[in-house]
Structure 1
Amino acid sequence: MSLESMIIKKYFNKNNQTPFKVIFKDGKVVDIGNGNPKFVIKVNDNIDKKLLLTSTSLALGEAYMDKKLDMESGDLYDVLDIVLGKLDTFDVNESALSKLIFTSTSKKNQKKEVTSHYDIGNNFYSLWLDETMSYSCAYFKNEDDTLYEAQINKIDHILKKLQLKEGMSLLDIGCGWGYLLIEAAKKYKVNGVGITLSEQQYLKFKERIKEENLEKYLTAELMDYRDLEKSKLKFDRVVSVGMLEHVGRDNYDLFFKNVDTVLKEQGLFLLHFISGRKENSGDPWIKKYIFPGGVIPSLREIISLGSEMNYYTLDVESLRRHYHKTLLCWYDNYKKNIDKISNMFDERFVRMWELYLSSCAASFNNGMIDLHQIVFSKGNNNTLEITRQHLYK
Structure 2
Amino acid sequence: MRALGSVEQMSEVLQAAVLAGINHLETAPAYGPAEDFLGQALQRADRQPDGGWVMTSKLLPGLSLREGKHQLLKILERLGCNKLDNLAIHGLNRPEHLDWALQGDGRALLDWAQGEGHTVQVGFSSHGSQDLIATAISSGRFQFCSLHLHLLDPQRLPLALRALKRGMGILAISPADKGGRLQAPSPTLKSDCAPFTPLQLAYRFLLAQGISTLSVGAAKASDLALAAALQRSDSPLTAEEQSSLQRLADHRRGRLGSDLCGQCQACLPCPNEVPIPELLRLRNLAIGHDMTPFCQERYNLIGRAGHWWETLDASACQRCGDCLPRCPHQLKIPDLLADTHRRLQAAPRRRLWG
Q: TM-score, normalised by structure 2?
A: 0.28
Higher strand proportion, which one?
A: 1
Q: TM-score, normalised by structure 1?
A: 0.26
